[in-house]
Structure 1
Amino acid sequence: MRNFTLGLVVHPDRPVRDSVRLIVRHARRSGGTVIARPCDAGRVGPEVEIVTPEEFVGRVTGVISLGGDGTMLGAMRLVVGRQVPVLGVNHGHLGFLIEVTPSELEPALDRMAEGRYTLEPHSCLEVDDRTASGDTAFNDIVVTAAEPLASLSLDLEVNGLSHGYYRGDAVIACTPTGSTAYNHAAGGPIISPSTEAVALTPVAPMSGISRSVILGKDDHITLRNPSDDVPLLFSVDGTPARPLRPGAELSVRLRTDAVDIVRLDADTYAQRKRVKLSLLDLPLRPDQLVELIPQPLREQAERLRQTMR
């Protein structure tokens, strides 16, 4: 693979310079170029070419995210609809979306250069509040009251028909990928990534719709602020909240195959994801929890147990 251009998207404060240097060396050996946007210039070093955001999106043939899930989501938003592969390297914490650790980066780059990987398509929510269309959420959209500790009222419309209202602390609209985040913490369902669906989950409901609603990819969802004078707030994938003014509405639709994530070993990734989900209280028996421990560690523990007898 020659004449390729890798775009870097990096965490705002975690140390990633070692990974950057490795990527640059590997790209140069393979005849490629590494670029980044001005917002990341201070963290990637002088060996990376800095280009405008528009040039970044136009030139990249692959994107590497160095950070956690938040950084990965930002990288994915940059290339929605472009079918550019995105590889995540976990410089964060849990990293549900990310398969590769920094120590695994070099062999991962080798496999990418050789074409030995698969692409996992991910859906997103397209959001339009009629003031700034084009927003995308790979995890969730959260609507809350504008005043701290206040409750919200929010109307739900699906395909042009009224489906009731919410009254409570918040309302979450999430993708299958985002179903393990705030949606899960609020008691909503975990949805398989293979399902083309949107979940709407109320947080601490007081009246109206009190349980999660699952809608399909062709459903046109409208969340409307019914008040004449009380503003609400909405946030897309945890970005700074914006106002949902009295009488205003959010239009939400699922976009399938919005971006492709690089997968090198689907079985290993699935196993790690099971461990991460177990940390979110996924109900497992003790014998099932043991299955999540990598086989070499289980064998080492058994040898230790035998020596202690």
Structure 2
Amino acid sequence: MIIALFPNINKQLSKDLAIDIREFLNSQNITVVAEDEKAQVIGAIPLSEIDLTTISFMISMGGDGSILKLVHKYAHLDIPILGINLGHLGFMADVPISDLYPSLQDLIKGCFQLHKRVVIEGKSTSHKGCFAVNDIVVHRGSNRCLVKIAIHIDGVYLNTFEADGIIIATPNGSTAYSLSAGGPIISPDLEALVLTPICPHTISNCPIVLPANQKIQIEYLSNYDPIEIHADGLNYYELKKSEIFEITRSKKNFKLVSLPRRDYFSTLRTKLGWSGKLR
């Protein structure tokens, strides 16, 4: 088995822990690889020396943002990711340091589930397109006032929102920016998308949940500066007046390793600080 380790070697905790993880995995007869500039530091084999398609798992060390960066950097690979959390509890990076080695044992033994989560793609006539694991955000950008954005679903007119923007989130991203903007939490295993207006002028403009296979067309109507499109907060594009941006469900999935020692709902309760108790 080959496991790719992705630490932040500029942070002492991450670097030291990566060395310990590499030693532990090597003791279990597992080959550990890392990006070339990090491999020598932690004693792993450089990625450039192997066929990347032979990697069984990627281990991200950081938070949910680290996982998103990893997915985008290696978008051409279809490898499951396990997230080790080195900061605040994450929804994706949910393995704490305190439970690290029992979790790695579960991974090695095959005691895990593989969740294939929805990924979305966006494109317009002016750029080649993008994809997102969490969300695609259409925002007013440098404009100082609300902008008008028309939405069509499978070619059928839905509404024109006068707002700061629109968030189109996957179930995985429903607990990110969309939640902060008043959107619902969607179970990550559902095939759905949520469209959430950002600060709409009309308070009756509520979030709407849609089937993931429906095509969402976004048209910018205001006579202002171009607005901004952000995919997972990593890729940036501009959308000009009358230009249409189209969002569809991607053919690819994001594969996240889920261990029996953790579950989504316990992470949800802890992350959101829910205090309800069984009676």
Pairwise same-fold verdict (TM > 0.5): yes
The answer for the alignment partner of 2:31 in structure 1 is 33
The CA deviation at 1:24 is 1.5
Distance (whole Å) between structure 1 residues aligned to residue 239 and residue 185 of structure 2? 28
The answer (yes or no) to whether the contact 2:148–2:162 under 8 Å persists in 1 is yes
Offset from partner CA, 1:170-208 (integer Å, 9 cap, x none): 211101111111111111111122321111111111159
When the two chains are superposed, the root-mean-square deviation of aligned CA atoms in Å is 2.9
The answer for the alignment partner of 1:51 in structure 2 is 47
What is the number of equivalent residue pairs in this alignment? 277
The answer for the alignment partner of 1:65 in structure 2 is 60
Distance (whole Å) between structure 2 residues aligned to residue 72 and residue 57 of structure 1? 18
The CA deviation at 1:130 is 4.1
> Are residues 122 and 80 of structure 1, via their aligned partners in 2, closer, same or farther at CA, if it must alter by over 3 Å?
farther
Greater per-residue strand proportion: 2
| Matching of residue 245 in structure 1 with residue 243 in structure 2 | no
The answer for the alignment partner of 1:306 in structure 2 is none
The answer for the alignment partner of 2:6 in structure 1 is 9
The answer for the alignment partner of 1:112 in structure 2 is 107
Greater per-residue helix proportion: 1
The residue correspondences of 1:127-138 to structure 2 (distance < 5 A) are 127-133=122-128, 135-138=130-133
Instruction: Structure 2: state its 5+ residue gaps.
Output: none
The answer for the alignment partner of 1:195 in structure 2 is 190
The CA deviation at 1:90 is 0.2
The answer (yes or no) to whether the contact 1:165–1:209 under 8 Å persists in 2 is no
The CA deviation at 1:221 is 0.8
Instruction: Structure 1: state its 5+ residue gaps.
Output: 292-309
The residue correspondences of 1:163-202 to structure 2 (distance < 5 A) are 163-202=158-197
The residue correspondences of 1:1-309 to structure 2 (distance < 5 A) are 4-11=1-8, 13-14=10-11, 15-38=13-36, 41-42=37-38, 45-51=41-47, 57-78=52-73, 83-133=78-128, 135-147=130-142, 149-207=144-202, 210-227=205-222, 230-239=225-234, 241-255=236-250, 258-265=253-260, 268-278=263-273, 288=276, 290=277
The answer (yes or no) to whether the contact 2:94–2:262 under 8 Å persists in 1 is no
The answer (yes or no) to whether the contact 1:228–1:247 under 8 Å persists in 2 is no
- Larger radius of gyration between Structure 1 and Structure 2: 1
Distance (whole Å) between structure 1 residues aligned to residue 23 and residue 190 of structure 2? 39
The answer (yes or no) to whether the contact 2:117–2:189 under 8 Å persists in 1 is no
The CA deviation at 1:269 is 4.9
The answer (yes or no) to whether the contact 1:100–1:108 under 8 Å persists in 2 is yes
- Matched to 1:47, the amino acid is G
- State the TM-score, normalized to the length of structure 2: 0.86
Distance (whole Å) between structure 2 residues aligned to residue 104 and residue 44 of structure 1? 26
Percent identical among aligned pairs is: 27
Provide the secondary structure at the position in 2 that maps to 1:27.
helix
- State the TM-score, normalized to the length of structure 1: 0.78
> Are residues 36 and 267 of structure 1, via their aligned partners in 2, closer, same or farther at CA, if it must alter by over 3 Å?
closer
